[in-house]
Amino acid sequence: MNSRHKILNQLRSNGRAAETPGPWRSRRQFDDLAARFADALTAAKGECRRAGSLDDALDQLHQLLRELSAGKIVVNAEPPFIELDLPSRWPDFQWHTVGQSDGDLRAFCAAATVGLSGADAALAETGSVIVSSGPGRSRLATLLPEIHLALVPTSSLTADIFTWTAGRQGVLPANQIIVSGPSKTGDIEQTMAIGVHGPKRFIVILYDEG
Amino acid sequence: MSGVTQFRRKARIAISDIRLQGALEGATQKFRTGRTAALADLPDAGALRDHFKAIRQATIAQLADHLETFERNAQASGAQVHWAADGDEACRIITGIAQQHGVKLTTKSKSMTSEEIGLNDALADAGVEPVETDLGEWIVQLAGEPPSHIVGPALHKTRQQVAELLSKEAGKELDADDIPLLTAEARRMLRQKFLDAGLGISGANIGVAESGSIVLVTNEGNGRLVTSAPPVHIALMGIEKIAPTWDDAAVWLSLLARSATGQPLSVYTSVVTGPAKSDDIDGPQEVHIVLLDNGRSKLLNTPFEEVLQCIRCGACLNVCPVYRAAGGHSYGSHYSGPIGAVISPLLFGLEKHAALPQASTLCGACLDECPSRIDLPRMLLALRAEEVESGLIPLPERLLERAAARVMGNHRLLSAAGTGLRLGQIPLAQGETLNIPRRFNPAQDRRLPALPKKSFRQMWRDGDLDE
Ligand code: SF4
């Protein structure tokens, strides 16, 4: 008998009927999802900037990239970046557009200052942004650079993880990440240190559409 | 040396180590206050924990069905699922995959399950170099020590000790007082390992049956790197870590980090559902999931079934007066604290870990903290009963307890003993307290009240209690 059968048989012969409780429904009510998101992200040592429109968000982004003297920037080919063609708009930086630029993506990401992404959803309660893998969406682009910068429309905000799972639809991507701040550790004398393996800064520009 | 004396010897050393005592108190207190604040921020933490307990209970009762669903969906996503009856089999499966891919270097994200089965030794024996990438876990790996806490593996190390280990690795002197620098150096050294590794090995905090996904939480981002950078990813998961649905996983996630470190969510929650899709730009080409039994399935339908509801948050360690004094290494098992005191004997043998069920005051603090409301004190008592029945208690203690039972069962003997003790304590008494000899009180932090002049029975007889 192989291990699979052995384990399942053992579990089955000692198991019993049981009713799993129904889903837990969110008990969160935030008057202002965006405000809660910004507070929670800030508490987790992330940074949140608010923008009144996508254009405003792009202005802030451009300003920020200049302040950071970003050299290499990798950008996921996903909303809101797809139509924007930032590399031709801001040719002062060195760009890699995922799935479109030539050259080694991994090496570029490892040397990049900034990784730009959009978001599938954002959780107000915890200040989290949800990012998926897929065509044009690199996992390493939001992981290897020094800074992960996400442009997130307020329409993607939901109250918490419960409202998010309740509204989730379709097949899961191979890789999905809930990001709640910059990489950190407390492993040396419980002293918080930022930027161990992942990005040292996590900046969200939260913008209103329309 | 019997397990019992070994625990006591190690604990005694730990208790007289002032530095370690400071580290333990600092770390556990930070975790404790963090947890309390994080749960208080929830609208209804108590009800959420009750709900979670109900989920875990029902899931474990029907674990076979959920595991089959998990397997089916994981396979549909393209992952390969393996079943391991014990640690050796899991090690064989994992080293086999590594060898098949000609892997020389593997990066690992922290996994207590891999510690449990001694995976690093097995990999090294098979010619594969395992590198731990959680900073704390890497520190203990460099030191050649086991982790001393489920969540903070290196919390017993000072920054000087850490700096020494990292300096050796970096080949240059690193300043112990500059923790950001130590962290940056670790980032630099491990970053290259991530990019060079042919295989990433992780544990799994949750397996979601509904979608066949593995969920992994880390703060540092090493979990993301291990599952994204190498061409092959293996996740090792205990069979009990199943959540039937995403709704259930959400409850789990909302309690896990809050209970462990006091964060609302860990920095990164990674959800892995199979290998990279054909149009994905990066990610592993192969994902393997190894489902480990190693003594878990036999606990179903026994008085110890409840331990299968554990999510390894470490909250019970942080409140345990014994863990806080003795530290993780005294337990002689990778699992320490109250949960370790219960599962180590259950998974690895009561004989080997006979001291652990004794390593508790039965104060019940662990039960109060546990997100799954696992009744560890009850199981500690049950294990003690088993120890008595199988003669695992050291002879002097057995004789002492037999004598105590005798005395307490007979009122004449009891009052005689009381008189004897009142006389006997005179040389030690200092006002209302007893001076405990240093041998039994190495840190001089224990207080014992002296026996009052009159016993309760005497007061009763003399009418002192009439009001
Ligand atoms: S027994 Fe409870 S408190 Fe202890 S580690 Fe497990 S889940 Fe956490």
Q: Give per-residue pLDDT as tens, B436-457.
A: 887 777 667 778 888 888 888 8
Which of B372, B393, B414 is the last residue in one of the domains?
A: B393
Of the candidates B293, B270, B189, the residue with the CA atom closest to the CA atom of residue A177? B270
Ligand 1 centroid distance, CA of B273 (Å): 26
Question: Complex ipTM, two decimals?
Answer: 0.97
pLDDT digits over B24-74, tens only?
999 999 999 999 999 999 989 999 999 999 999 999 999 999 999 999 999
Which ligand 1 atom sits nearest the alpha carbon of residue B259?
Answer: 8
In a domain, B32, yes or no: yes
Q: Residues B251, B323: one domain?
A: no
CB contact under 8 A, B265 and A128: yes
Whether B355 contacts chain A with CB within 8 A: no
User: Which residue in A3, A11, A178 has the most chain B C-beta atoms within 10 A of its own C-beta, making it the best mutation to test that interface?
Assistant: A11
Ligand 1 centroid distance, CA of B36 (Å): 15
DSSP A24: P
Confidence category of residue B130, pLDDT binned at 50, 70, 90: very high
pLDDT digits over B197-238, tens only?
999 999 999 999 999 999 999 999 999 999 999 999 999 999
Structural domain that includes position B246: 63-297
CB contact under 8 A, A139 and B282: yes
Q: How far apart are CA B241 and CA B110, in angstroms?
A: 16
Ligand 1 centroid distance, CA of B354 (Å): 21
The token pair that represents B125 in the structure block: 């024996």
Contact B380, B341 (CB under 8 A): yes
A181 contacts in chain B (CB < 8 Å): 267
Q: Residues B157, B26: one domain?
A: no
Residue type present at position B87: G
Q: How far apart are CA A159 and CA B395, in angstroms?
A: 60
Pocket test residue of B151, B339, B368 for ligand 1, highest count of atoms within 8 A of CB: B339
Q: Residues B99, B153: one domain?
A: yes
Q: Residues B387, B399: one domain?
A: no
In a domain, B247, yes or no: yes
On the CB side of B405, how many CA atoms lie within 13 Å of its CA? Answer: 6
Residue type present at position B209: A
Q: Residues B346, B376: one domain?
A: yes
Which of B369, B393, B417 is the last residue in one of the domains?
A: B393
pLDDT digits over B78-123, tens only?
999 999 999 999 999 999 999 999 999 999 998 999 999 999 999 9
Confidence (pTM): 0.93
pLDDT at position B255 is 98
Among the partner residues A20, A105, A186, nearest to B58 by beta-carbon distance: A20
- The total of structural domains in chain B comes to 3
Beta bridge partners of A147: A114, A201
Ligand 1 centroid distance, CA of B311 (Å): 6
Which of B249, B271, B297 is the last residue in one of the domains?
A: B297
3-state secondary structure of A97: strand
CB contact under 8 A, A27 and B51: no
Q: How far apart are CA A100 and CA B231, in angstroms?
A: 22
- Pocket of ligand 1 contains residue B258 by CB under 6 Å: no
Taking residues A164-175, what's their average pLDDT?
90
Q: Which CATH number is B99's domain given?
A: 3.40.50.10420
> In this model, does residue B77 exceed pLDDT 70?
yes
DSSP B93: H
Domains, chain A, ordered by start: 31-207 (3.40.50.10420)
Could you tell me what percent of chain B has a pLDDT over 90? 78
Q: Residues B405, B383: one domain?
A: no
CB contact under 8 A, B239 and A11: yes
pLDDT at position A42 is 98
pLDDT digits over B354-409, tens only?
889 989 999 999 999 999 999 999 999 999 999 888 888 878 888 888 899 999 99
Minimal CA separation from A101 to chain B, in Å: 12
pLDDT at position A186 is 87
pLDDT digits over A1-19, tens only?
699 999 999 999 999 999 8
Q: How far apart are CA B120 and CA B456, in angstroms?
A: 59
Whether A164 contacts chain B with CB within 8 A: yes
Taking residues A76-97, what's their average pLDDT?
95
pLDDT at position A25 is 93
Pocket test residue of B306, B316, B360 for ligand 1, highest count of atoms within 8 A of CB: B316
Minimal CA separation from A210 to chain B, in Å: 31
Q: Residues B283, B338: one domain?
A: no
Whether B48 contacts chain A with CB within 8 A: yes
Q: How far apart are CA B24 and CA B54, in angstroms?
A: 33
The token pair that represents B60 in the structure block: 């474990």
Of the candidates A86, A79, A40, A78, the residue with the CA atom closest to the CA atom of residue A178? A40
In a domain, B179, yes or no: yes
CB contact under 8 A, A10 and B227: no
The token pair that represents B330 in the structure block: 């005294």
Pocket test residue of B255, B256, B259, B347 for ligand 1, highest count of atoms within 8 A of CB: B259
Q: Residues B420, B382: one domain?
A: no
Q: Residues B135, B246: one domain?
A: yes
Residue A190 makes CB contacts below 8 A (sequence gap 6+) with: B26, B27, B30, B152, B155
pLDDT digits over B150-207, tens only?
899 999 999 999 999 999 999 999 999 999 999 999 999 999 999 999 999 999 999 9
Confidence category of residue B4, pLDDT binned at 50, 70, 90: low
> In this model, does residue B1 exceed pLDDT 50?
no
In a domain, B55, yes or no: no
Confidence category of residue A91, pLDDT binned at 50, 70, 90: very high
Residue A84 makes CB contacts below 8 A (sequence gap 6+) with: A58
> In this model, does residue B420 exceed pLDDT 80?
yes
Taking residues A75-82, what's their average pLDDT?
95
Q: Residues B247, B328: one domain?
A: no
Residue B155 makes CB contacts below 8 A (sequence gap 6+) with: A187, A190, B23, B24, B27, B136, B148, B149
Pocket test residue of B240, B312, B380 for ligand 1, highest count of atoms within 8 A of CB: B312
pLDDT at position B437 is 82
Minimal CA separation from B234 to chain A, in Å: 14
> In this model, does residue B467 exceed pLDDT 80?
no
3-state secondary structure of B320: coil
Beta bridge partners of A178: A130, B269
B249 contacts in chain A (CB < 8 Å): 165
Whether A79 contacts chain B with CB within 8 A: no
Average pLDDT, chain B: 93
- Buried b / exposed e over B424-460, threshold 16 CB at 10 Å, is eeeeeeeeeebeeeeeeeeeeeeeeebeeeebeeeee
Q: Residues B358, B406: one domain?
A: no
Residue type present at position B396: P
pLDDT at position B443 is 65
- Pocket of ligand 1 contains residue B149 by CB under 6 Å: no
Of the candidates A112, A204, A201, the residue with the CA atom closest to the CA atom of residue A156? A204
Residue type present at position B149: H
Ligand 1 centroid distance, CA of B235 (Å): 21
Of the candidates B62, B99, B10, the residue with the CA atom closest to the CA atom of residue A14? B62
DSSP A23: P
In a domain, B467, yes or no: no
Q: Residues B135, B72: one domain?
A: yes
Angle between helices B63-76 and B45-61 (to 10 degrees): 90
Sign of CA dihedral B216, B219, B223, B224: positive
Q: How far apart are CA A204 and CA A179, in angstroms?
A: 11
In a domain, B374, yes or no: yes
User: Which residue in A3, A12, A197 has the most chain B C-beta atoms within 10 A of its own C-beta, making it the best mutation to test that interface?
Assistant: A197
In a domain, B304, yes or no: no
Could you tell me what percent of chain B has a pLDDT over 70? 98
- Pocket of ligand 1 contains residue B67 by CB under 6 Å: no
Task: Assign 3-state DSSP to chain A and report helix, strand, coil percentages, each to 5.
Answer: 30, 25, 45
